[in-house]
Amino acid sequence: MTNAEPLAHDESVNPDSAIGGERLGIVESRPTLLSNVSEGTIVPTDEWLEKYQSIKDKLVCKTDLDAQFTEKVIGGMAVDVLDIGTVHFPTGTVFACDPLMALEETPPFIQTIPAGTYPVKICVVPSKKYGNRYACVKVAIRTEKPVRYELGMTGHEDLSQDLSEGEFFGFDVDAGMGCIADVRTQAAFKDYWAKRLEEDPDIDPYNDLFSDLLEENAKAHPKYQEEYGDWLNWTVPDTDCNLPVFASGWGDGCYPVYFGYDAKGDVCAVYVRFIDIEESYPNRDS
């Protein structure tokens, strides 16, 4: 399975927000990509980058995503912040995906962050009516406030499509979970899982790894979690590579990642956006 960044609309950032009710996969029309073997990253061609530079301003997020981590009420809904530990980025090359479906194959973003270990926070919308929903996940890199939110891009996107304001490319979620981590964590998981498969070729990541871990974490940290677990900060055995895993807003769908930059142009946070709180909640079915 490849990481197909679909083109969707940012009206509510939920599974119903894709254009025409569908997620528009772009795997069939990819630019030629060059592999940077030493870093394990993908380098887009000059042609792709030139096209991207001409349209990137259309892809910025105009919502102040960081407000979800500083305000108490967004769009009339109370919000809270859940700290789930830290995430280690030994290379600063970032990827995000559904960890139960595409953890081994997902390409990284062309945007990078400084190598380091950073806090991970989740903006939660507590609700008896709708359940406790995870609206946004933040990897906090610096304390400065973002003034620009740039859409994370992998170089796989089909930029020949006509883009309108508020549309985005994002990663597919088919198992109700998302994650964000360093490419070295991805490589460490590949090695770990390959050894597990040698012992038992019939195992799968959810039933034979994450299911029990999520349940155990929910018992240890029950706040804003259901019985079967809604988040996990798991370290690949015998490594210092960890993988924050979290429930994806309303569930399956297409979700964007944004890199927040401060007034000096330095990256200060990375955001996985699941729910546009102001747009989504007033329009939810009763």
Task: Please give the pLDDT value at position 38.
Answer: 33
Task: Please give the pLDDT value at position 163.
Answer: 81
- CA separation for the pair 23, 169 (Å, rounded): 10
Per residue of the chain (286 residues), what is the pLDDT tens digit? 334 444 454 444 543 333 222 232 222 233 333 333 334 455 788 899 999 999 999 999 999 999 999 999 999 999 999 999 999 999 999 999 999 999 999 999 999 999 999 999 999 999 999 999 999 999 999 999 999 999 999 998 999 888 877 789 999 999 999 999 999 999 999 999 999 999 999 999 999 999 999 999 999 999 999 999 999 999 999 999 999 999 999 999 999 999 999 999 999 999 999 999 999 987 665 4
Task: Confirm if 24 and 18 have CB atoms less than 8 A apart.
Answer: yes
Please state the pTM of the whole predicted model: 0.86
* Coil, strand or helix at 261: strand
Read out DSSP for 140-194?
E--SSPPSEEEEP--S---TTS---TTEEE-EEESSSEEEEEEHHHHHHHHHHHH
Task: Please give the pLDDT value at position 234.
Answer: 98
β-strands 177-182, 257-261: how paired? unpaired
String of b and e for 92-117 (b: at least 16 CB within 10 Å)?
bbbbbbbbbbbbeebbbbbbbbeeee
Residues 6+ apart with CB under 8 A from 177: 98, 99, 100, 210, 245, 246, 247, 248
Read out DSSP for 65-134?
GGGGGT-SEETTEE-EEEEEEEEEESS-BEEEE-TTTSTTTPPPPS-B--SEEEEEEEEEE--TTT--EE
